[in-house]
Amino acid sequence: MRPRNHYRIAKCIAIISVLGLPTAALAASGSFEMDIPIANVASIEVTNGSGAVDVRGADVEQVTIRARISVDKRYAKRDPFRANSLVAAIKRTPPISIDGDRVVVEQPRKRTQRRHVSISYEILVPRDARVKVHSDSGDIKVSGVSGPVDASSESGVVTLASIAMSVPVASLRRQPERLH
């Protein structure tokens, strides 16, 4: 490398340090929010690979989904550009589909996203919504719902609060918790 290039590199590093960009580059994360109007009683199905899922019933006529996306730190440190690209791709095309009154939230389709990305969801649904939630790795909380609920986690705590119906619950890691 020529001495002139060393100077340019040092200058870029100094500017980046002053602006605080290294921590931003390593913290590859983002979020998105969707409001989905529902004409009839909604059904929400969530299959999440990694990340918490919190579903709350309320007196609303739509489903609101707020998602926090993060890339695992080792991957982000190794390749910050690609890590930020993973987040941008999910924000651009969230793994959410709508079929009539049924909202389906799935794991990202691409293998790299499934391996290195965690998505935590806060989902607001009509009280009488049917709720089905599964997480491979992450806690699940469902509250304020009067419709049927099916919740399971392979590695996480399942918590139910203010649920009107009897529901099947499974957590392979620990016993499910019921709060009244």
Give the H or E element holding residue 114: helix 111-116
Q: What is the pLDDT of residues 48-92, one digit of tens each?
A: 999 999 999 999 989 999 999 999 999 999 999 999 999 999 999
Q: What is the pLDDT of residues 142-165, one digit of tens each?
A: 999 999 999 999 999 999 999 887
Q: Whose CA is closest to 86, among 96, 100, 75?
A: 75
Q: Whose CA is closest to 83, among 42, 44, 37, 117?
A: 117
